[in-house]
Amino acid sequence: MQNEVCKWAGWIPTNKGEIDFNYIELPENIEVSKGNFEINSTKKEFKNLDVSYLSDSYGYKHYLKYSSKKPTESKIIANVLFEKVHDKIIGTAQIEYVKFVTIKTKFEIEKNGVVLFDGLEASQSISGFEKEIKTLLYVLVKTIVHGDAHHHQKIDIALDISDGDFQPNVVSKSFLNYIKLAEKNTKKTNNCESILRNENIVFEIEGYFSYFESFCKLFETEQTKTDKEFAKNVINSLKNTVAKRKNKEIFTSSIITTAIAFFGILVTVNLLLNGFWIPTSNELVCFFNEQNRYYYFLATLVFVLLLFFHATKCKLKSYVYYHYYEQFEFIKLLKNTSFGRLNWYGKLIKLSPIVLIGVGILLMFLVN
Window from 10-14, 76-80, 81-85, 325-329 with minimum mean pLDDT: 325-329
pLDDT of residue 148: 56
* CA dist list (Å): 73 to 70, 76, 77, 97, 98: 9, 9, 11, 7, 6
pLDDT of 118 strictly over 80:
yes
Rounded to whole angstroms, how far apart are CA atoms 205 and 313?
39
pLDDT at 186 over 50: yes
Is the predicted pLDDT of residue 95 greater than 80, yes or no? yes
pLDDT for res 61: 52
Candidate from 132-136, 152-156, 170-174, 238-242 with smallest mean pLDDT: 152-156
* Helical axes 195-218 vs 168-188, angle rounded to 10°: 160
Q: Rounded to an integer, what distance in angstroms lies between the CA atom of residue 264 and that of residue 267?
A: 5
The alpha helices in the chain, defined as continuous H runs, are 58-66, 130-146, 168-188, 195-218, 222-273, 290-323, 325-336, 344-367
Query: What is the share, in percent, of the chain residues with pLDDT greater than 90?
Result: 24
Q: At what angle do helices 222-273 and 195-218 cross, to 10 degrees?
A: 160
Cα–Cα distances (Å) from 347 to 67, 161, 336, 338, 350, in that order, read 70, 63, 13, 10, 5
Give the pLDDT score at 235. 92
Count of beta carbons in the 10 Å neighbourhood of residue 265:
15
Over residues 10-66, the pLDDT tens digits come to: 999 988 889 989 888 887 666 665 555 667 778 998 888 887 766 544 444 555 555
The pTM of this model reads: 0.68
Per-residue pLDDT tens for 268-311? 777 666 665 555 555 555 666 666 666 777 777 788 788 777 77
Q: Is 73 helix (H, G, I), strand (E, B) or coil?
A: coil
Cα-only R_g, the chain? 34
